[in-house]
Structure 1
Amino acid sequence: MTTENIYGNLQGLKANQLKQLQKLYHQRIRIDRITTTDLAERIAAISTELKQPVCVYLNRRGQVMRVGVGTPRQTQIPPLELPRYGVQRLSGIRCLATSLKPIPPSEACLTAMARQRLDALVMFSLTGQGMMRKGGGATGFIENAYVAHLLPISNDNTLWEISPPQDIETVAEQDFQDLVDSLEGEFSREFIAQDVSSQEDRVLLVGLMTGKMTELKFQDSLQELALLVDSAGGKVLATIEQKRANPHPQTLVGAGKVEEIALQVQTLGANLVAFDRDLSPAQVRNLELQFGVRVVDRTEVILDIFAQRAQSGAGKLQVELAQLEYMLPRLTGRGRAMSRLGGGIGTRGPGETKLETERRSIQKRITRLQQEVNQLQNHRSRLRQQRQQQEIPSVAIVGYTNAGKSTLINALTNSEVYAADKLFATLDPTTRRLTITHQETGETRIILLTDTVGFIHELPPSLMDSFRATLEEVTEADAMLHVVDLSHPAWESHIKSVKTILADMPLAPTIELMVFNKIDRADSEHLEIAKEKYPQGLFICASKRLGLETLRTRLVNF
């Protein structure tokens, strides 16, 4: 054993004191006992001599696996080193800790127990004196013992239970195996009652509101993130919010909020934390070390949805390019996975790391994909030129995601483009012919309608770059139908987001027709506001085919 096996505050410890701590690793107890009187008194004797708390962690085989000087919070096992069994099981580790004061475990100690999902926390309050027996052993160092353990989530949000003070002999006689089995049985029944698949992402949402953001915009953004997670196939367990003047440079949210999130991850059994802000690679790395689960930002959730929805070869190509461009700066800091290629003699010093190898490989792939996207761009350009030679006017249907664009093109052209009430249900641009007969002249006119990928607030730049071949369908169109979901509370914000994205596109069509959809579900007050602000706008319900004749008439006159 070496001093590296002792964790926590080692400053000022003597060599013989370190040796006593290291000897604790040789202790082993029965698997059906939470502790023994001898082990408890030995830990208490060392703690009394050091005049500091001592924590000893044991696995279910009764073996000591970690010894630390300090409180359970100061000596806790890092999340990434803990077993990940999910919400239906405990970690398989218990903590025997000492307290210099005759009080029950503090909330900080209990929070550490919950973060590590310990089988139990046993706190020994010390008498401050005792006796060392000849031949080894100790007695009289423990006044009382408290046993704490986790509870299934209840209506009153009680996370743990603490026993009344007991003598150490009573604690040593308790059936530990029976306690663990009964607790895990309750956790498993609760998990089944929640009707959650073990393969499903259980997601904790985190939102940060800074000084420049209004409460309404903040809540709308969080609700949209929840819809994005649902579209990606995850289940939202809870939402945590924080207000700060500025984001924390290392963890985005403050240190106290990081602790709160880490506790919720363990108590709710989350396996993914999604932030409603873009995170830097360093922030992701720091947060994953604290939580012990994957951390993603808004952009990564959107990219995941795009990866699921892409059906055509062109769509898959553009999604892969966007994902690789997002991944490239996030390779650094992956620990041993990105260390030197070899191992041992001859691999140190100059030479190529696995990180450099993977980065170069990704850069090559990105270059190749960009060439293919350029070819796709040229192909679409030739198709547009053919349509323009035929002098067929084209209209691009644009709008916020889930505004009803695909439903509208189906209703106008009797097509069967995939449409669903979810964000980014369709990605690939779809062009359909719309034949309209002028009511006065009887002249038949053909218009090409193109359904484009939906926009979203703060559309990731990598998606904008990768989908430029798709978005050019908008720039080359003769006119635009801007579809707005009037039933959404943030419909005005959606209009601003779409206009902001369109403003960044060169040569976007100047002819724009505002079409307000889902009027059957819209608030009457919002309907009046929209009619007042956009007197030239059309008000329809694509799913019920309301107002489509008026829309066709307006399209004829484009």
Structure 2
Amino acid sequence: MNKIFGNTTGLGAQQIKSLERLYRRGIPPESILSNDLAREVSFLSSALNRQIGLLINRKGEISMVILGDHKGIFIPSLDVFRAASTRFKGLRLIHTHLNGEALSPEDMTDLSHLRLDMIGALQVCEDGSPGKLFWAHLIPENPHGDYWLIHEPQEPHRLDLNFLSFIVALEDEFARQQKTRKIEATEKAILVRVEKNPLAGAEASLEELRQLAETCGVAVFDSQIQYRPQPDPRYLVGRGKLSDIDLRATQIGANLLIFDHELTPAQVRSISDFTGLKILDRTQVILDIFAHRAHSREGKIQVELAQLKYLLPRLMHKDTSLSRLAGGIGGVGPGETKLEIDRRRVRERINRLEKDLKNITKSRGQRRGRRNKSGLPVISIVGYTNAGKSTLLNTLTQSAVLAEDKLFATLDTKSARLRFPRDTEAVITDTVGFIRKLPKELFSAFRATLDELNEAD
């Protein structure tokens, strides 16, 4: 059965049948819109005094008929239709405009957000006949920084473009530009930051985030800064800026947005729903690095502890189908929801890990005490992450500590003996490097560094 999407309340049976008949009005695949279909949808839209939208696939078949109101239409989810980083949805949207207006900002948002092949607005004249078709499509990266091309409006019967060949060639151009980047990483990101003050060092912070992302194996394609008095509570950046970022991601083939802030769960959902892209914040990137770099038992405990502390306030999902599980005396009573059980288990795990970490810290203190009794002076190498501390330790002591040109290559303090002339020795210690805006969940990971500083000579 052909479904009419939208609000059909108040329509008679014949009107609904007229809308359903549109599904049988296919067009040649090479046509943007046939004159016959333009006349039929225009007269029907005029009779109903509502906008009508048609989603047409590349075979020329009507995939969806959408009924709106006098001012616009609401497009349902298109998740079932294909889309890849270099390809569109394979659908064009043709919809009527009852007041003869051109494409609206909302139309252009739909074009970019839904990655449509094209979008068209068909004028409906006073007598119900079709007027001109306004149409637009996305374009690849270009020197002018444009995201789309809006064509001159024309009557449907004057449109002589072979649309199928045109859209395939357009997709090929998107693919060609993206291949020239020669990026093997699966995650291709745009970095995003909101800043109040243009002099507050936003560029330096984004450069640090770029290094963090590349340490995770992410290819950074672009970065965007928006200066505004206050972050948007829903999207962090403004809705218009987020729409531009979404368009930019489509142009350059990015599939990930990394924000140089800590996002709330609600912001992550809102941004993801708006763009359809994967969303990460600065804290998640740093946690991912720590998870891959921790090798000692202490380091692994610290990372898991940080991840759980980050996760706990984000356990906000609801599952009404589970309701409350059995509890109370004899298994009767409201008991706990699945969400409450998840939170309780996370808290219990956090408590266990904190106890383990205390024991390890105590053992480390005992080792330092024994080292102090030896009377050897202690030298600690301290500095920013990736400043060359491990390289310096290896050079001075001929050690083989891992040293890479990456942030946080060292997540555990390491000590070695340094021999001076005249048989003098000292203990030299490599420490975890510092970074701007360290997530509070990772403060404990630097406790060993601070302890070493306290004991150093």
Match of 1:460 in 2: 439
Query: What's the secondary structure of 1:15's corresponding residue?
Result: coil
- Indicate the SS of the match to 2:310: helix
Q: Check whether the contact 1:200–1:234 (CA below 8 A) recurs between aligned residues.
A: yes
**Offset at 1:402?**
1.9
Deviation at 1:120, TM superposition (A): 1.6
2:178 to 181, 186, 191: 191
Q: Contact conserved, 1:208 with 1:243, CA < 8 A, in 2?
A: yes
Q: CA offsets, 1:479-538, max 9 Å, x none?
A: 3xxxxxxxxxxxxxxxxxxxxxxxxxxxxxxxxxxxxxxxxxxxxxxxxxxxxxxxxxxx
Measured in 1, the distance between the counterparts of 2:341 and 2:65 equals 37
Cα pair distance change 1:25/1:324, threshold 3 Å: farther
Checking the alignment, whether the CA contact within 8 Å between 1:275 and 1:296 is kept in structure 2 is yes
Contact 1:54 1:71 (C-alpha < 8 Å) held by counterparts: no
RMSD (Å), alpha carbons = 3.3
- Answer yes or no: is the 8 Å Cα contact 1:127–1:142 preserved in 2: yes
Relative to structure 2, which stretch is displaced further, 119-128 or 156-165? Answer: 156-165
Classify 1:384/1:78 alpha carbon distance in 2 versus 1 (closer, same or farther; 3 Å). farther
- In structure 1, stretches of 5+ residues that fail to align are 131-140, 343-348, 480-558
Aligned partner of residue 182 in structure 2, secondary structure: coil
Between 1:369-378 and 1:275-284, the stretch displaced more is 369-378
- The within-5 A match list for 1:336-485 is 338=319, 340-341=321-322, 353-437=337-421, 442=422, 444-465=423-444, 467=445, 470-471=448-449, 473-479=451-457
Larger displacement relative to structure 2 (19-28 or 179-188): 19-28
1:16 aligns with 2:12: yes
- 2:147 maps to amino acid: L
Query: Given the alignment of the two structures, is residue 202 of structure 1 paired with residue 188 of structure 2, yes or no?
Result: yes
Q: How does 1:287-302 map to 2 (within 5 A)?
A: 287-302=271-286
Per-residue CA distance 1:83-116 (angstroms, 9 max, x = gap): 5733211122221112235554345423421221
Q: CA deviation at 1:36?
A: 4.2
Query: Relative to structure 1, is the Cα distance of residues 462 and 84 closer, same or farther in structure 2, using a 3 angstrom cutoff?
Result: farther
**What is the Cα deviation at residue 372 of structure 1?**
2.7
Q: Residues 404 and 379 from structure 1, CA distance in 2 versus in 1: closer, same or farther, beyond 3 angstroms?
A: same
Matches of 1:350 and 1:43 in 2, distance apart?
A: 55
Stretch deviating more after TM superposition (183-192 or 88-97): 183-192
TM-score normalised by length of structure 2: 0.85
The aligned residue for residue 211 of structure 2 is 227
Amino acid at match of 2:218: G
Q: What's the offset of the Cα at 1:186? A: 1.9
CA contact (8 A) 1:88 1:187 kept: yes
Change (3 A) 1:376 1:294: same
C-alpha separation between the residues in 1 aligned to 2:356 and 2:446?
12
Cα drift, residue 126 of structure 1: 1.7
Structure 1 residues 38 and 91, CA gap change in structure 2 (3 angstroms):
same
User: Aligned partners of 1:240, 1:82: CA distance in 2, in Å?
Assistant: 31
Q: Which moved more, 1:292-301 or 1:369-378?
A: 369-378
Match of 2:63 in 1: 64
Given that 1:76 and 1:116 are in contact with CA atoms closer than 8 Å, whether structure 2 keeps it comes out as: no
Identity across aligned pairs (percent)? 35
Q: Deviation string for 1:129-166 (max 9, x for gaps)?
A: 13xxxxxxxxxx21222442222222223333344433
After superposition, where does 1:475-554 map in structure 2 within 5 Å? 475-479=453-457
For 1:372 and 1:60, the matched residues in 2 are separated by 61
1:93 matches 2:91: yes
Look up the equivalent residue of 2:41 and give its one-letter code.
I
Question: CA separation of 1:249/1:147 partners in 2, compared to 1, >3 Å: closer, same or farther?
Answer: closer
Rounded to whole Å, the distance in 2 between the matches of 1:226 and 1:451 is 25
Shift of 1:323: 1.4
CA distance in 2, matches of 1:247, 1:223: 20
Q: CA–CA distance in 1 between the matches of 2:21 and 2:212?
A: 50
Match of 2:244 among 250, 260, 273: 260
Aligned-residue offset at 1:436: 1.7
- For the pair 1:150 / 2:138, whether they are aligned, the reply is yes
Query: SS of 1:279's equivalent?
Result: coil
Once the two structures are TM-superposed, the CA of residue 431 in structure 1 deviates from its matched residue by 1.0
1:29 pairs, out of 15, 26, 50, with 26
SS in structure 1 at match of 2:424: strand
One-letter code of the match for 2:10?
K
**How many matched pairs?**
446
Moved more, 447-456 or 374-383: 374-383
- Quickly say closer, same or farther: Cα 1:161–1:256, change in 2 above 3 A: closer
Evaluate the alpha carbon distance shift between residue 27 and residue 369 of structure 1 in structure 2; reply closer, same or farther with a 3 A threshold. farther
Q: So what's the TM-score if we normalise by structure 1?
A: 0.71
Equivalent residue, structure 1, for 2:156: 168
Look up the equivalent residue of 2:194 and give its one-letter code.
L
The alpha-carbon deviation at position 468 of structure 1 amounts to 5.3
> Which range is displaced more, 184-193 or 447-456?
184-193
Provide, for residues 288-334 of structure 1, a one-character-per-residue CA deviation record: whole Å limited to 9, x for no partner: 2212112222111111122222233432332122112112212314x
Alpha-carbon distance between aligned partners in 2 of 1:284 and 1:154, rounded to the nearest angstrom: 30
1:483 is aligned to none
Query: Given residue 194 of structure 1, which amino acid in structure 2 is its aligned partner?
Result: R
Which amino acid in 2 is paired with 1:157?
G
Which sits farther off after the overlay, 177-186 or 276-285?
177-186
Cα distance between partner residues in 1 of 2:269 and 2:67:
25
Which position in structure 2 is the counterpart of 1:501? none
Q: What is the identity, as a one-letter code, of the residue corresponding to 1:179?
A: F
Residues 395-433 of structure 1: CA deviation (Å, up to 9, x unaligned): 222222122211221222122222223322221211111
Q: By how many angstroms is 1:216 displaced?
A: 4.7
Matched AA of 2:92: R
Matched, 1:179 2:177: no
Q: Is the 8 A contact 2:6 2:74 kept in 1?
A: no
Alpha-carbon distance, 1:476 to partner? 4.6
Q: Indicate conservation of the 8 Å contact 1:27/1:64, yes or no.
A: no
1:59 deviates by: 4.1
In 2, the alpha carbon distance for the partners of 1:306 and 1:369 equals: 16
Letter in 1 for 2:293: R
Shift in CA distance, 74/30, structure 1 to aligned 2, threshold 3 Å: closer
